[in-house]
Amino acid sequence: MVRATSTPRPRLGVVKLASCDGCQLMLLNLEDALLSIAERIDIVEFPEATSHRSSGPYDVVLVEGAVSTPEQLETIHEVRREAKSLVTIGACATAGGIQAMRNWANHDAFRAAVYAHPEYVESLATAQPVSDYVKVDGELRGCPINGDQLLEFVAALLTGRRANLPDEAVCAACKRAGRVCVMVAQGIPCLGPVTMTGCGALCPGFDRGCYGCFGPREQANAASLGAQFVAMGQTPVEAGRLFAGFTGYAPPFRDVITELGGAPGIPAGHAPSPASTGTPSGGN
Amino acid sequence: MTTEAPSFERSFRVEGITRVEGEGSLHLTVRDGEVTDARLRIFEAPRYFEQLVVGRHPDQVLDIVARICGICPEAYQMSAAGAFEAIFGVTVDPQVRALRRLLYAGEYIESHALHVYLLHAPDFLGYASAIDLAKDHRAVVEQGLALKKVGNELMAVVGGRSIHPVNVRVGGLYHVPTREELLAMRPALATALEQAKATLDFVAQFQAPPFERPVRLVSLRHPDEYPLFAGRLVSHDGTIDVPIGDWRTVFREEHHEGSNALHARTHAGETYQLGPSARVTIAAEQLHPVAREALARTGLADQIARNPFWSIAARGVELVHYCAEAIDIIDGYRRPAAPFVPWTPKAGAAGWGSEAPRGTCWHHWETDERGYVTRAQIVPPTSQNQGQIEADLRGFAPSVLELEHAEATRRLEQLIRSYDPCISCATHFLDVTIDRS
Amino acid sequence: MTSSAVTTVTTEPRRGTGFLPRAEFQHLIDLLGEDGRTVIGPTVADGAIVYGEVRAVSDLPVGMGAEQSPGRYRLVDHHDERYFAYAVGPTSWKRFVFPPTLDLAESHRDEHGHVSFGPVHHEIPKLAFLGVRACELAALGIEDRVLLGGPYTDEDFRKRREHALIVAVQCAEPGGTCFCTSMGTGPGVRGGHDVLLVELADGFLVSSGSEEGAGIVARLGLSAATEDQLVEGSDQLVAARDRIGDPVATAGLHDRLLAKLDSPRWAEIADRCLACTNCTAVCPTCFCTSVSQRSDLDGRTAVTERRWDFCFTKGFSAVALGGNFRPRVQDRYRQWLTHKFATWIDQFGTSGCVGCGRCITWCPVGIDVREELNLIAPPPVLGTEAQVAAHAPRTSVFHVDAVRPETHDTVTLALSTPDGMDWSRLHGEFVMVSVPAIGSIPISISRRLPTGMELTVRAVGPASTFVTGLERGAEVGLSAPLGHGWPVEAAHDHDVVIVGGGMGFPPLRPIVDEILAHRASFGEVHIYHGARTPSDLLYKEELAAWASRGDLDVGVTVDRADTTWLGRVGVVTQLFDHARWDGSKAIAFVCGPERMIQATVSTLAARGITQDRIFISMERHMECGVGLCGHCQVGPFFVCKDGPVFSLAQLGDVFGREGI
């Protein structure tokens, strides 16, 4: 009566670029659902969990991490070719992650400062979100992604509906949860007003300001919030650094950092623009 | 690098451990049946953490260093927090310190349950993954997942979430839970304690490859508590015994071609082993009585010290320990009046370490007069273990060379996984090539 | 809440006012907590005075107050014994009568495709609200009108309201952002409470406002208040009123504000506004909600959850295919402010603002509505009393009796219900179609049948894709027909012009059916249908049959032709740009994409059809379908309840305005 439901199990791949592994770990952290998911989804590539390997094709591939080396650049194009649907998971894949803070800096100097033999280390001048290089069909934000959102994504995939992932500010979830605004009541700078919800307004519940794990929400007025931080007594560079976290390379956070300062290793008032995007080999 | 003066050493900082989490490969060179070279190559993308933290406020640093590793964020947070607190002269309130141990206990339970059940047990039992293992032994995997979940829940209660918790700040925590919130965890922990004992009994029946070798075990040791984020840095043979901040007086880092990870050795160029086997051996007296008794029942203490494959039993012992200690902390908890001690910034430098589930994670931090970071060195456990892993591979490989390639590969991988280097390279890990020239 | 009461302060204590010494206050808390009630009142947490459980006097904010200014709130210790010497904090009572999240319904779809829908039952707690201010009583009164006053009601809200005992406390310590005086809601309490307290230096004046309250007061066994005590109480209130002043000029505010929809100030506010939703979240009257489904992994069981939603988010005004009627922050801010202070009055006969000041204090960047109103522009115009209530529509299971493909992505489903109800008699323009675990979408009725209806659906999102894939015998959930449809009876003895673009055509088909059933009652009938391509044309056979009757003028056009197409090419207005009919006797019914409607309307106007005779159907984001969730508002209208069909005369200024 209804269309056949005995479709073959979707083939899922999990692929990692420059990242901390935390987002793919979230899949293993769905302890109650993990074995049920494994019965319904054919996990063909997930090096964190299984020795079985597959280079595709995939119905869905979850990509964790930023594109930051020539090899990763090749990988992401290969994965894109093999995937019907490519979904980026986490701040590194969706916004460049913490390593994208180097995009404001001189890459060669960075590399030389960390490694005795920089010539042994291959990396691109910038760390970029996956969508700067290939088409992305969906994204799960967060540093790390949220387990409930991941489960919702899987349920939606299996049910054939749209995942219910709100695009509202952290403030909306914070107020539903009955939390008191830390910015208004305690003068603590909080990125909640400009950050996409998804974490359940975690940090204000722990008496601290949001630090932007889920990245800018649509219409994020980061400039106004940055100005408010300065009005509250932060120096411009301090205010800029609050944005220069795990999603700082995503516009408009990126623009506020460039405007106010706060990128790593850059003295106050001398913040250059981030290295140009989309030119993987171009250094600065 | 050995030719460089010690004062120049700081210029080649490790930017963070994640470099061992990516893909790796092992190249063995065999001559006349003898392994002449074993080289582990790791291709994790460089992430430059030690540069990214320069100019940052220490509290922001704690959030950033957590991102070095999604599996053991607390190791990085606690090591850095310890260093900053040493610089600023902060003593954390005892109850807040207990909460930090509780948070870290959650990370141990999560990480060890993950490793024992999802990553390492399939090796001993001949499966490619825990998902395959679950097809034949669902209850076993479910027990592992249940234990793992308790660890995650503990981290969420104290730290806000299991991956990249948000609660640690210099001087203490941002927020302290109520006694009721902690007590709500107690029934689950009581169950977990029994499951942890069952886990140890379960893995004690495994057959480990007979591979005993002399090794130097290194960990923190504290007279009054199982080593976590305080004590002295010692070796089991008594040859090393220095304050926690003095790692550099004993060890140094080297940068090898073909790797984005720096490797650590003693100044004499010797390798050493960190992790659960080292701790269980070095701090046997500080184990919770319940864990000590469970270890004694297995009769594996000597094996753990000598055979790297028995690290799985050491993890079982620590699972028992941290479930038991978590219960004790909760039972003795009185909500502190303030979650953190205010501190005054100053210029300074300090080294500090903490025991990540996979071994000592050592940091060195320098600050300016506003307390902002001017320089950082982060030495993750896996880069310290890597030399010993290679040495073990050289020693172990001859016993598997005659096996067919797939089986030989599996055995070599199992050895590497014994060190729990970090999961993505630990599981599939290897593209093994054997040069039989 | 009448305008004449704006400046009146109740200083006259009720007869029978008693005095409760401070030392005996615990007795009152204990009495309130009897009969299984939980006492909710002010308590200090996380740097603010919030509402939480109160078991003892020590739970109250003894001696505490707060400094409040735009974007800033700080607790201050007055070092005295008072319990209620503070102005309202971030929590409002709305949270307890209209929960932030609420499971509404459970639905199932079994492996054979059978569907079922059922409500989720909630245990309604018995609560006593301790410390309710005049402005908050006014807010509860407004919520009553919104949620209980219309044709559809929120029964969960009703029960929670009925289960709450209200202990009001007269305001003595207004905050720096208060303006209840301007909104006519305070500071004096004027009813709506069960018990009223006035806090004095050494105790409380206690009086009752209801029978239940009188019972509690009687059990306190109080001595009568002295004259001095009564004077102390009234002096406090007068002082409070004087401190607040009259910060907002509300006379004529409704009209003044609506006259300023094009003010450049909206864009200036948007430069600062974070669209963070804090103002609406702390507002005690904002009532907008969204629903979504949580399902199990297999989509067999789903729970429909309602949660507070906010007109500052993108999703709030989003429609299918990525469209959004309020794309800019300035559109959203304007919607919020003009709704609160103007169109709310058109809808509910009262302002939506009580002047509690929360939206000012809790705005992270300190945007001050008092200042903005005075800058942009205006006294609340009072409307009519609320109507008789009816229950919200239930979801009924319908069967698919027939499926007719219309185009590659569009089908017409014939649906009937086994419940025996005569659906043809139910008015309404559209139904909410629900699929467990997938979603719920509004679909216009494209034909009325004796036992059900036809729905023509295009596969756009997951829910509509699922519905278009249904086969004969499948089940779906349908609400009763909702909204106001086409006023076909108004066209009797008139010529009729029907213009349908794309998927705008199906809603118009029942008009044609009605005309054909009573053909003699209408004059000339012109039917125009435009589609993107020939393969997107709907009801091709019916159109041909209508054209061959001879008593209908049927025109069809496509935007882009293909090789098979011999008909007209061009936009739909070209079909009647030069037609010879006389618009002065015609009534027009128009439905289609917003841009097509605008072009059609101007062509029709040029043909002499006046605004009161042009009816259009509006598309907006709809969730509840009954005017309770707030998403589909356009100016003073709820598209779902007041529309979706409107005359242009009715819409007035609202029609065609960007971002409204």
**What phi, psi does A52 have (nearest 5°)?**
-65, 140
In chain A, which residues have their Cβ closer than 8 Å to the Cβ of B260? 115, 120-121
CA distance A165 to chain B (A): 19
Q: Is the pLDDT of residue A139 over 90?
A: yes
Token digits of residue B243:
């304050």
The predicted structure's pLDDT at residue A121? 64
For residues C644 and B18, the model is more confident at C644
CA distance B370 to chain A (A): 12
The predicted structure's pLDDT at residue A2? 40
Quote the CATH superfamily of domain C393-478: Translation factors (2.40.30.10)
Closest CA to C20 of C170, C253, C198, C212: C198
B299 CB-contact burial (10 Å; exposed 0-12 / middle 13-18 / buried 19+): exposed
B223-254 CB burial, b ≥16 within 10 A, e <16? eebbbbbbbbbbbbeeebeeebbebbebbbbb
Asked if the C-beta of C278 comes within 8 angstroms of chain A's C-beta atoms, the answer is yes
Assign domain C489-617 to its CATH architecture.
3-Layer(aba) Sandwich (3.40)
CA distance A25 to chain C (A): 20
Q: Which residues contact C77 (CB under 8 A, 6 or more apart)?
A: C63, C64, C65
CA–CA separation, A30 vs A38, rounded Å? 11
Closest CA to A77 of A109, A51, A55: A55
B132-163 CB burial, b ≥16 within 10 A, e <16? bbbeeeeebbbbbbbbbbbbbbbbbbbbbbbb
C-alpha torsion B314→B315→B318→B324, nearest 10: -130
User: Rounded to an integer, what is the distance from CA C60 to the centroid of its chain?
Assistant: 35
Nearest by CB to A224, from C75, C90, C365: name it. Answer: C365
Token digits of residue C109:
């779809």
Nearest by CB to A99, from B48, B164, B167: name it. Answer: B48
The predicted structure's pLDDT at residue A104? 86
Tell me what the mean pLDDT of segment B378-396 comes to. Answer: 89
Chain A residue at shortest CA distance from C50? A180
- Classified as helix, coil or strand, B251 is strand
Sheet containing B34-42: give its strands across: B34-42, B24-31, B432-435
- Cβ–Cβ of C461/A162 closer than 8 Å? yes
In chain A, which residues have their Cβ closer than 8 Å to the Cβ of C46? 179-180, 182, 185, 207
- Cβ–Cβ of A264/B13 closer than 8 Å? no
Q: Which residues contact B315 (CB under 8 A, 6 or more apart)?
A: B112, B115, B116, B120, B203, B276, B357, B420
Q: Is the pLDDT of residue B348 over 90?
A: yes
C275-314 CB burial, b ≥16 within 10 A, e <16? bbbbbbbbbbbbbbbbbbbbbebebebbbbbbbbbbbbbb
CA–CA separation, C240 vs C88, rounded Å? 14
Closest CA to A221 of C71, C364, C90: C364
Calculate what percentage of chain C has a pLDDT beyond 70: 94
Asked if the C-beta of A38 comes within 8 angstroms of chain C's C-beta atoms, the answer is no
Mutation target to probe the A interface, by most A beta carbons within 10 A, among B57, B163, B166, B368 is B163
Chain A residue at shortest CA distance from C271? A224
* A-B contacts (CB, under 8 Å): 206
CATH code at B73?
1.10.645.10
Half-sphere exposure of C15 (CA within 13 A, CB side): 0
pLDDT in tens, C505-563: 999 999 999 899 889 999 999 999 999 999 899 998 999 999 898 899 999 999 998 88
Closest CA to A37 of A45, A23, A27: A27
**What phi, psi does C540 have (nearest 5°)?**
-60, -45
Going from the C-alpha of C536 to that of each of C512, C553, C558, the distances in angstroms are: 20, 21, 9
Calculate what percentage of chain C has a pLDDT beyond 90: 57
CA distance C109 to chain A (A): 10
Helix axes B311-331, B138-159, angle to 10 degrees: 40
CA–CA separation, A233 vs A208, rounded Å? 17
Q: Is the pLDDT of residue B425 over 60?
A: no
- Cβ–Cβ of C277/A3 closer than 8 Å? no
CA–CA separation, A165 vs A145, rounded Å? 12
Q: Is the pLDDT of residue B437 over 60?
A: no
Helix axes B73-88, B58-66, angle to 10 degrees: 160
CA distance A82 to chain C (A): 24
Where are the domains positioned within chain C?
Answer: 3-99+129-244, 253-376, 393-478, 489-617
Q: Is the pLDDT of residue B73 over 50?
A: yes
- Mean of the per-residue pLDDT values for chain A? 86
- Cβ–Cβ of A50/B427 closer than 8 Å? yes
DSSP-derived secondary structure for A265-284 = T--TT-PPPPPPSS-TT---
Half-sphere exposure of B195 (CA within 13 A, CB side): 25
- Cβ–Cβ of C274/A183 closer than 8 Å? no
| A121 neighbors B260 (Cβ within 8 angstroms) | yes
Which residue has 């500052």 as its token pair?
A: C312
Tell me what the mean pLDDT of segment B269-274 comes to. Answer: 95
For residues B345 and B404, the model is more confident at B345
Going from the C-alpha of B198 to that of each of B102, B119, B295, B327, C344, the distances in angstroms are: 22, 18, 12, 18, 65
**Phi-psi domain of C502 (left: phi exceeds 0; alpha: psi -120 through 50; beta: other):** left
Closest CA to B264 of B1, B85, B27: B1
- Cβ–Cβ of A206/B166 closer than 8 Å? yes
Token digits of residue C201:
């230096």
The predicted structure's pLDDT at residue C489? 85
Q: Which residues contact B433 (CB under 8 A, 6 or more apart)?
A: B25, B26, B27, B28
Which residue has 């006053």 as its token pair?
A: C149
Q: Which domain holds residue B132?
A: 6-435
Token digits of residue B169:
């700040």
Nearest by CB to C307, from A176, A185, A218: name it. Answer: A176
Which residue has 């409470």 as its token pair?
A: C193
**Phi-psi domain of B357 (left: phi exceeds 0; alpha: psi -120 through 50; beta: other):** alpha
Global pTM value: 0.86
pLDDT in tens, B136-158: 999 999 999 999 999 999 999 99
CA–CA separation, C484 vs C643, rounded Å? 5
pLDDT confidence of A238, banded at 50, 70, 90?
Answer: very high
CA distance C349 to chain A (A): 28
pLDDT in tens, A255-274: 999 999 887 654 433 444 44
pLDDT in tens, A47-61: 777 777 777 899 999
pLDDT in tens, A5-16: 456 899 999 999
The predicted structure's pLDDT at residue A114? 67
Tell me what the mean pLDDT of segment A212-220 comes to. Answer: 95
pLDDT under 50: residue ranges of chain C:
1-14, 378-391
| C638 neighbors C619 (Cβ within 8 angstroms) | no
DSSP-derived secondary structure for A168-235 = SBHHHHHHHTTPPPHHHHH-----GGGBB--S-SHHHHTTS----TT-BPTT--HHHHHHHHHHTT--
CA distance A134 to chain B (A): 19
- Classified as helix, coil or strand, B261 is coil
Mutation target to probe the A interface, by most A beta carbons within 10 A, among C43, C50, C109, C276 is C276
CA–CA separation, B311 vs B418, rounded Å? 6
Domain count of the fold of chain B: 1
Token digits of residue C158:
């009703």
CA–CA separation, B100 vs C611, rounded Å? 71
Chains that touch A (3 or more CB pairs under 8 A): B, C
Token digits of residue C517:
């059933």
CA–CA separation, B321 vs B105, rounded Å? 9
- Residues B55, B60, B61, B64: is their CA dihedral positive or negative? negative
Half-sphere exposure of A23 (CA within 13 A, CB side): 32
CA–CA separation, A155 vs A174, rounded Å? 25
Asked if the C-beta of C272 comes within 8 angstroms of chain A's C-beta atoms, the answer is yes
Half-sphere exposure of A232 (CA within 13 A, CB side): 23
Report the range out of B246-260, B298-312, C413-427 with the highest average pLDDT. B298-312
- Residue-level length of chain B: 437
* A-C contacts (CB, under 8 Å): 168
Asked if the C-beta of A148 comes within 8 angstroms of chain C's C-beta atoms, the answer is no
- Cβ–Cβ of A144/B255 closer than 8 Å? no
Calculate what percentage of chain A has a pLDDT beyond 90: 68
| B375 neighbors B348 (Cβ within 8 angstroms) | no
Where are the domains positioned within chain A?
Answer: 11-159, 170-260
- Cβ–Cβ of B128/A203 closer than 8 Å? no
Q: Which residues contact C635 (CB under 8 A, 6 or more apart)?
A: C338, C343, C651, C653, C654, C660
Q: In C, residues 87-126, which contact A (CB 8 Å cutoff)?
A: 89-91, 95, 100-101, 109, 111-113
Domain A11-159 annotated CATH 3.40.50.700: yes
